Each structure stands twice: as structure tokens, then as C-alpha cells.
């Protein structure tokens, strides 16, 4: 019981949730709000259960997951390569940084219609959009992380005769890991966002496509149900990234990491 007294949030957080759901449920019933505008939580739950029992839902879930994961994977690979070159070679940094900053200023979602023309209605356009959106936060964290190595640590390695590549792998890369994982954490959520937005703009399958279909048929409870599923995807992805971070960057001082 002592732990509960020290951490009242363990009780308060669920209480807030229950009160909020109860208020929502009752107010919608009392005020007789049209289900198309705002369904009750219980109706949303029912819609979710219905969806979970259809094979269409699971194949759509798989489509969106694939798009987000592939996009995330490509974003990570390109960010690692670009980040390494930018942080290690001064001339690359000076030459390409203005373009990166400029490109970052583009609202990436606005690129979706163009990607649709280039890559079609299939999964490719969503993967590309997801990768484009997820790329920058990962890249920036990698650059910052690789530059974050302590001068004293580098000096220490130099005194003992370390070569440049030894300094890179023994100090700079480990120093970058906490930043890298923070970037991945933001990146995976943005990749899911990119995949869904891509599906909104034109698709044949995926959870975003299901939301559009539900909207077309005024099935608001289903729309909310899929929103819940997308949130769950994000939370699970976040938990997985955090687990990796705790395993591989356990010493991390995350206080000055971008996007945290």
C-alpha cells in the first residue's frame, strides 16, 4: 500500500479514464446525440469487436503495418548513411545542410498527392511518404548524437593512440545511441501517420482506406474503432523502441535530445 501512497497517479489515472468514459456515455445518451456525430464508447467498443472478427480488418491492418514498417526501415537506413557522412565530413555538412533544412521546411504531407502520381495507388506511394516523413527527425538526432561526443572522451582515446575510425566507433557511435533511439521513437509514429495519410489520399487497402469507407457509409463508430487500433499500433511501436533503448542505450542522458 505504501507504493500506492507514494504514487497516487496509479489510482488517479484509471479513475480519470473511467469518469471520462462514463460522462461521455451518459451525456451522449441523455442529450440524444446522433450516432453519426458522436457515438457512445460502448457503440465504439461494439464496432471494434465486430471489426476484430473480420478477415478484411486484419488484412488491412497488415497492409498499413507493412507500409509504416517499410517506410520506417528505409527512413532509418537513409538517415544512418546521411547522418554519418554529414557528421563526419565537414564539406558534406556545409554543402548539404542548407538543402536539408530547406527540404525539412516542406510540409511532407503535401507531397502525398505527388507521390500518388509517381508511385500509384498501391503500397509503394505510402511507403515513400512514410519514409519521407520519418526521415528527418531520425536524421537530425543521428547528426546531433554523433556530434554530442564529449571532447574529453575523444581526447582520452587520442592519447591512447586511437585512429579516427576507432574514435568514431568507440565513442561517437555509442554517444549517438540515446539520440538515435529518441529519433526512432518519433520516426516510427510519423511513419504510421505517413502511411495512413497516404491511404486517405488514394488507396485500395489499409486502415486509412477503411476509415474512408466508414466515413462514406456514415459508420462513425467504426471510424472511432479504427482510430483506437491506430493508437494501439503507435503505443506498441513506442514500447518496442523504448525497450530497445533501455537495452542498448541504458546510460543515456536524454535531457537534451531533440523531439523528446
Partner 1 sequence: MSALHKIYNTRGGGQTHALSDINFTAKKGDFISIVGPSGCGKTTLLNILAGLISKTEGSASVSGHEVSKPLPEIGMVFQAPTLLPWRTILENVMVPVEVQKLDKKKHLDKAKELLKLAGLEGFEDKYPNELSGGMQQRAGICRALVHSPSVLLMDEPFGALDAMTREYMNLELLRIWKESNQTIALVTHSITEAVFLSDRVIVMSPRPGRIAEIITIDLPRPRTLEMMNSDAAGVFVKKIRHYFNAANVIE
Of 121 and 154, the one with the shorter C-beta distance to partner 1 is: 154
Of 9 and 150, the one with the shorter C-beta distance to partner 1 is: 150
CA gap 97, 144 in Å, rounded: 13
Size of the site for partner 1 (CB under 8 A): 19
Of 162 and 197, the one with the shorter C-beta distance to partner 1 is: 162
Site residues (CB under 8 A) for partner 1, limited to 190-219: none
Cell for 96?
548539404
CA gap 212, 227 in Å, rounded: 12
CA gap 35, 259 in Å, rounded: 37
Torsion of CA 176, 181, 183, 185, to 10 degrees: -170
Of 45 and 174, the one with the shorter C-beta distance to partner 1 is: 174
Of 31 and 159, the one with the shorter C-beta distance to partner 1 is: 159
CB of 156 to partner 1, least distance (A): 5
CA gap 172, 109 in Å, rounded: 33
Q: Which residues contact 35 (CB under 8 A, 6 or more apart)?
A: 43, 220, 221
CB of 256 to partner 1, least distance (A): 15
CB of 86 to partner 1, least distance (A): 23
The candidate with the shortest Cα–Cα distance to 83, out of 189, 173, 152, is 173
CA gap 197, 201 in Å, rounded: 7
Specify the residue for cell string 503500397: 123
CB of 152 to partner 1, least distance (A): 5
Of 21 and 173, the one with the shorter C-beta distance to partner 1 is: 173
Interface with partner 1, residue 257, by CB under 8 A: no
Q: Using CB under 8 A, which of 3, 102, 110, 251 touches partner 1?
A: 251
CB of 174 to partner 1, least distance (A): 5
Site residues (CB under 8 A) for partner 1, limited to 121-180: 150, 152-153, 155-162, 166, 170-171, 174, 177
Site residues (CB under 8 A) for partner 1, limited to 69-128: none
Interface with partner 1 by CB under 8 A: which range of 6-14, 29-37, 191-199, 245-253? 245-253
Alpha helices in 89-204 (DSSP H): 90-105, 112-119, 123-147, 151-159, 164-167, 173-201
Burial 54-79 (b: 16+ CB within 10 A, else e): eeebeebbebbbebbbbbbebbbebb
Of 160 and 216, the one with the shorter C-beta distance to partner 1 is: 160
Residues engaged in binding partner 1 (CB under 8 A):
150, 152-153, 155-162, 166, 170-171, 174, 177, 249-251
Amino acid at each position: 500500500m505504501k507504493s500506492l501512497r507514494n504514487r497516487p497517479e496509479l489510482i488517479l489515472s484509471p479513475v480519470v479514464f473511467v469518469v471520462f468514459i462514463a460522462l461521455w456515455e451518459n451525456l451522449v445518451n441523455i442529450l440524444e446525440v446522433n450516432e453519426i456525430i458522436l457515438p457512445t464508447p460502448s457503440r465504439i467498443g461494439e464496432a471494434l469487436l465486430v471489426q476484430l472478427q473480420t478477415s478484411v480488418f486484419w488484412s488491412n491492418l497488415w497492409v498499413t503495418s507493412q507500409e509504416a514498417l517499410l517506410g520506417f526501415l528505409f527512413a532509418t537506413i537513409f538517415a544512418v548513411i546521411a547522418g554519418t557522412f554529414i557528421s563526419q565530413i565537414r564539406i558534406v555538412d556545409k554543402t548539404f545542410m542548407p538543402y536539408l533544412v530547406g527540404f525539412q521546411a516542406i510540409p511532407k504531407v503535401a507531397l502525398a498527392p505527388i507521390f500518388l502520381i509517381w508511385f500509384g495507388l498501391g503500397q509503394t506511394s505510402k511507403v515513400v511518404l512514410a519514409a519521407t516523413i520519418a526521415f528527418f527527425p531520425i536524421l537530425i538526432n543521428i547528426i546531433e548524437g554523433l556530434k554530442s561526443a564529449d571532447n574529453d572522451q575523444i581526447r582520452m582515446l587520442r592519447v591512447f593512440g586511437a585512429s579516427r575510425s576507432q574514435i568514431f566507433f568507440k565513442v561517437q557511435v555509442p554517444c549517438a545511441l540515446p539520440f538515435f533511439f529518441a529519433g526512432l521513437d518519433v520516426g516510427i509514429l510519423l511513419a504510421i501517420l505517413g502511411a495512413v495519410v497516404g491511404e486517405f489520399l488514394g488507396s485500395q487497402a489499409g486502415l486509412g482506406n477503411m476509415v474512408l469507407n466508414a466515413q462514406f457509409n456514415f459508420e462513425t463508430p467504426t471510424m472511432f474503432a479504427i482510430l483506437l487500433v491506430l493508437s494501439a499500433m503507435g503505443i506498441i511501436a513506442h514500447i518496442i523502441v523504448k525497450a530497445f533503448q533501455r537495452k542498448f542505450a541504458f546510460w543515456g542522458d536524454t535531457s537534451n535530445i531533440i523531439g523528446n
